[in-house]
Structure 1
Amino acid sequence: MTTVSKLNPRTQHYEFGGPFGAAFVTLSVPITTYALYFGCSETSGGCPPPLSDIPIYFINAITSLDWWKSLWDTEAFLAYLAWYTFTVVAWYVLPGDWIEGVPLRDGTKKKYKINAFSTFLLTLGLAAGAILRFGPTALTFVYEHWIGLTTSSIIMATVQAIYVYVASFEEGKLLALGGNSGNLIYDFYIGRELNPSIGSFDIKSFNELRPGLILWALIDIAMACEQATRLGGKITDSMLLVLIFQIWYIGDGLYNEVYTSFIPTSPIAENPIQPAIFTTMDITTDGFGFMLSIGDLAWVPMVYSLQARYLVFNQVELGTYLSLAVFVLHGAGYYIFRSANGEKNDFRNGRNPKSMAFLLIT
């Protein structure tokens, strides 16, 4: 029988600069998320605002109690809770295959419910219905309550990181090899437990695919709605390109990173082909701690949507030729991205010629 010490050995090597680096990133990511809002908004004077104004603005802000109070928004917090609850309910209610992940160190395999793409389509359908029924003002709440939604996402990420860290000390937990150093700050950041779950609900894979990633698409749509209300019902070609590129990326990721489960078994691999998301380092190796929770729940939706938010108040018309050039450049970049990701997943599943040669040699 494998002992607990052998199954969960103590982490010997630090990454990210050890506890100091972990503490720095833990504090700097939320600060940077706020800074990107205040440094690129209508009220600050541009992106970035005049450099000479930044120190004065920063000092006036952090020394003002009203500024700190402005970070909290009860309406936004309730809206964010409703959004997160919706994604959980969708995970539970919507049909989806249960797929086995890669073998774990203890010989077991976790099962994951595959319906993130269905949740994405449902979200787009509900958003489209709301816009058709109430007009673009149906989603302008997001722009008006941006900072409150940012605070809410950071709170959710922090609460989850604390919960999974405390729960990781329960008996029988399988820990991440890189998150069992014994240092509270470092393990909290890296993630101590490999696959924290509540019953069959896997917290890590759920957050990786649903609440943050799909919220990014919803925020982009909301920014287009805000722009449309200012421009009499139309949006700029630059905003349209952002919508196409980013929503395509999100939908493509949710579909291609998961639905590879329908590919037949490799003729030379010992195990069936795994969905791509379940062969990535985030799922197979990293624990779920603050690093992943803040990235999934706050950084992705609130930072990656910066371009769309910027275009709300800086309305750029590119014209036909520039739009076509941007589209071609993006298409080339997308081809490289998708080809590389497909090759990596094929290699991990034994279907890439390079991995086949390696298996045959060994």
Structure 2
Amino acid sequence: MASDTKATQDELNPRTKHYEFLGPPGALFITLSVPAFTYALFFGCSEKSGGCPPPLPAIWPAVQNAVTNIDWWMSLWDQEAFVAYIAWYTFTVVSWVVLPGDWIEGTLVRDGSRKKYKINAFSTFLLALGLITGLLIRFGAASFTFIYDHWAGLVTASLAMSITQGLYCYVSSFFGNKLLALGGNSGNPIYDFFIGRELNPSIYSFDLKSFNELRPGLILWALIDISMACKQWVRRGGSITDSMALVVAFQGIYIADAVYNEPAIFTTMDITTDGFGFMLAVGDLTWVPFVYSLQARYLVFNQVDLGPVWTAIVVLVNVTGYWIFRGSNGEKNDFRNGKNPKNLKSIETARGTKLLVSGWWGLCRHPNYLGDLLMALAWSLPTKFDTPVTYFYVSYFLVLLIHRQLRDDEHCEKKYGADWHRYTKLVPYRIFPYIY
């Protein structure tokens, strides 16, 4: 009986034979470089360093002086910031537990089960905003500048949480009959720790992967933006610039949209295919809140007044991106749920499923990525063109989405075979119609 069970587990969890990110060396490089780059974006774009970026001749001596100075390394640890971050993460966990929410089933996984997920990210978001609003009304903007003043320590705290979760998920994946990610069972500890060995690590009904995707990092991003606006408000004596208002509003709407449409994430590759390891943990908890908020932080110490014309242009870019993003995702979600209010055309596949070939999804294979990129550009435009650093996010996001598109296409080719080749002839463009 034991051998039958083992055979079944071996069949469910075959050894990973194909590496991504150039295998273990690439995984190690990203594991080390993501924290380093997050710190670099702060120290290389802040008023303390002398600019964004600092004068080029001063950068290398400053780096050498910092990394060889024990006091600099010690300065990355901030006990107040650590306590604040743990309190924030605890708040999001408690909110998940106590706030009401529907339980929905995810997609069918290869062991024949469907995982259930509690839906209350939007309620958590509203509760956090309500508490911050009460704090600002009662004590004023100066009461919520802590994040700007303790930035490096908060980054360190989020990295500590990411490493802890990555190690916990890797070690726990060896105990019990766990369903492993097809891409995370290579046998190499560096690679599997990074990519995620277990598909859906959970503590009872608490699913770590979906929780981290939308709550502690994403909502913190919104709070960081508000804190940056508060810091600017205090410095300006009771006002914020139009550029800061646009960044906070655009990114806040994007975050609200994501948490409101929480069920949509359960059909994404992050949830259905990827394991949960350090890659997703550090992406959710560190990279998203502390890198994506770069423009708001920059505008605290380099204040930009746009004026009505430039403001209108930026708003138009963002609205166009949101229209494409929400419209295309709406078409996809309706179609997957058996609805087709626009009578969109599709092709039948041998698997019995259908692929859309009209509407937004007839223009290109990933119109939602196009909308995402336009919104990312709109978040950088309020900083104008004094520095390329504030355009890092849209540049990085372009590379990320192209990589994700290549992964999606490879996965779909394996899934649909000849039907995928027929589909790509009908929809030849990948992200940018008539360009790519």
Q: Shorter-chain TM-score: which interval? A: over 0.9
With over 3 angstroms needed to count, the CA separation of the structure-2 counterparts of 1:127 and 1:335, relative to structure 1, is same
How is 1:290-309 mapped onto 2 (pairs within 5 angstroms)?
Answer: 290-309=278-297
Q: Which moved more, 1:78-87 or 1:321-330?
A: 321-330
Distance 2:336 2:191 in 1: 29
The residue aligned with 1:310 is 298
Q: Which deviates more from structure 2 when the two are superposed, residues 345-354 or residues 183-192? A: 345-354
2:56 is matched with which residue: 39, 51, 56?
51
The answer as to whether partners of 1:242 and 1:307 remain within 8 angstroms in 2 is: yes
Inter-partner Cα distance in structure 1 for 2:196 and 2:128:
30
Answer yes or no: is 1:280 the counterpart of 2:268. Answer: yes
- Within 5 Å, which residues of 2 pair with 1:234-253? 234-253=239-258
Structure 1 pair 131–214 and aligned structure 2 pair: CA distance change class (3 A): same
Match of 2:129 in 1: 124
**In 2, Cα distance between equivalents of 1:357 and 1:330:** 35
Q: Is residue 95–residue 115 contact of structure 1 (8 Å, CA) maintained in 2?
A: yes
SS class of match (2:108)? coil
Moved more, 69-78 or 325-334: 325-334
- Whole-Å separation in 2 of the counterparts to 1:334 and 1:200: 33
Q: How does 1:316-355 map to 2 (within 5 A)?
A: 316-346=304-334, 348-349=336-337, 351=339, 353-355=344-346
Q: C-alpha displacement at 1:133, in angstroms?
A: 0.4
TM-score normalised according to structure 2 size: 0.77
Two-structure CA RMSD over aligned residues (Å): 1.5
8 Å contact from structure 1 (residues 279, 345) kept in 2: no
Q: Is contact 1:347-1:354 (8 Å) kept? A: no
Indicate if the aligned counterparts of 1:224 and 1:239 stay in contact, CA closer than 8 A: yes
1:132-171 aligned at under 5 Å gives the runs 132-171=137-176
CA contact 1:196–1:288 (8 Å) conserved in 2: yes
Aligned to 1:61: 66
Structure 1 residues 356 and 320: alpha-carbon distance in aligned structure 2, compared to 1, 3 A threshold? same
Q: How far off is 1:147 after superposition? A: 0.5
Say which of 97, 100, 113 aligns to 1:108.
113
Q: Deviations over 1:326-352 (max 9, x none)?
A: 111111111122223334444554546
Please tell me the residue identity of whatever aligns with 1:280: T
Show CA shifts across 1:147-206 (max 9, x none).
Answer: 000000011001000000000001210000000000101100100000000000000000
Query: Could you tell me which residue of structure 2 aligns to residue 262 of structure 1?
Result: none
What residue number does 1:87 align with?
A: 92
Give the conservation status (yes or no) of the 8 Å contact 1:350–1:356.
Answer: no
Shift of the 48–117 alpha-carbon distance from structure 1 to 2, 3 Å rule, reads: same
| Distance (Å, rounded) in 1 between the aligned partners of 2:269 and 2:84 | 32
Give the direction of change, closer, same or farther, for the CA distance of 1:279–1:354 in structure 2 (3 Å limit).
farther
Aligned residue in 2 for 1:186: 191
1:263 aligned residue: none
Runs of 5+ unmatched residues, structure 2: 355-418, 420-436
The one-letter code matched in structure 2 to 1:218 is L
Conserved 8 A contact 1:348-1:355: no
Q: Look up the SS of the partner of 2:114 in the other structure.
A: coil
How high is the TM-score relative to the length of structure 1?
Answer: 0.92
Hey, what's the Cα distance between the residues in 1 that align with 2:156 and 2:281? 14
Letter in 2 for 1:341: N
Which deviates more, 47-56 or 285-294?
47-56
The one of the two structures with greater contact order (alpha-carbon pairs below 8 A, sep at least 6) is 1
Kindly provide the amino acid, as one letter, of the partner of residue 40 in structure 2: A
- Cα displacement (A) at 1:288: 0.1
Cα shift at 1:253 = 1.1
Deviation at 1:12, TM superposition (A): 1.1
State the 1:47 CA deviation.
1.1
What amino acid is the match of 2:201?
P
Go from structure 1 to structure 2 and tell me whether the alpha carbon gap of 1:318 and 1:36 turns closer, same or farther (over 3 Å shift).
same
Q: Distance in 2 between matches of 1:347 and 1:113?
A: 23
Q: Partner letter of residue 328 of structure 1?
A: L
Counterpart amino acid of 2:129? L
- Cross-structure match for 2:406: none
Question: CA distance change for structure 1 residues 355 and 84 in 2, over 3 Å: closer, same or farther?
Answer: farther
2:327 and 2:318 map into 1 onto residues whose CA distance is 14
Alpha-carbon distance change, 63 to 20 in structure 1, aligned in 2, over 3 angstroms: same
| Paired residue type of 1:124 | L
* Paired positions, count: 345
Show the 5 A alignment for 1:188-227.
188-227=193-232
Q: Which runs of 5+ in 1 are unaligned?
A: 259-274
Contact 1:190/1:291, CA 8 A, preserved across alignment: yes
